[in-house]
Amino acid sequence: MSTIEHRLGFKPSLTCPLFCYYYSNSMATNTQFSIAAHIMACLGRAAGEEVNSAAIAGSVNTSASFVRRILARLSKAGLVKTATGKGGACWLARRPTDISLLEIYRAVGAPQAFAIHRYPVEKRCPVSCNIKSALGRVLNETQQSVEQRLSRISLAQVIADLRKK
C-alpha cells in the first residue's frame, strides 16, 4: 500500500481525479447578490428619480431583460417599485438607510456563501463518509455570520462608499 493509500485508508480509483477535476472546474460563481446590490445602488444614487432598466443595464454591463428579471425579484420583496410600459421605470420602495444588504441577498434567492459538495461518498474512505456531517455545523455557523453582517449594512452605506471613490 502506498503512503497516500495508507493515509486515506483505501486505494483511490483512477476516475476520481477526473470526476473531481471536471466538477470543481465547471462550477460557476454565483453573482446574483452582487448584481442585485449593483442595481439597488444605481437606484439609490438616482435619489428617487425614475430609472429605466436600459440605464441600469448599461451600468451593470448586461442586458435590460436580465436586469428586469432581477428587478422583478426585488419588487416582489418590496424593495423596488416599477412602472411598466414603453417608458417603464423603477425606483427604490424605501429609503436606502432602511434597506439592508441581507434583504437584497434574500430577495434574489442567492445561494449560501458555502455549500457542501455533492460528490458521491466513497464508502471505503472514512473522510468521504463523514466530511459532510463534520462540515455541516461549521458551514451553517458561517452562513449565519455572513447573514448577521449583511443585516448590519445598509444600502445607504454602500452608496456612501461609492461617493468616496
- Backbone phi and psi for residue 46, each to the nearest 5 degrees, phi listed first: -70, -10
- Total count of residues recorded for the chain: 165
Who contacts 102 (Cβ-Cβ below 8 Å, separation ≥6)? Answer: 147, 150, 151
Per-residue pLDDT of 11-25, as tens digits, reads: 555 444 444 444 444
Domains parsed from the chain with CATH numbers = 29-164 (1.10.10.10)
- Please give the radius of gyration of the chain, using alpha carbons only, rounded to the nearest integer: 22
Reported as type and span, the H/E element at residue 58 is helix 53-60
pLDDT tens for each residue of the chain, 165 residues long:
555 455 445 555 544 444 444 444 445 568 899 999 999 999 999 987 889 999 999 999 999 999 999 999 999 999 999 988 777 799 999 999 999 999 999 999 988 888 888 889 999 999 999 999 999 999 999 999 999 999 999 999 999 999 776
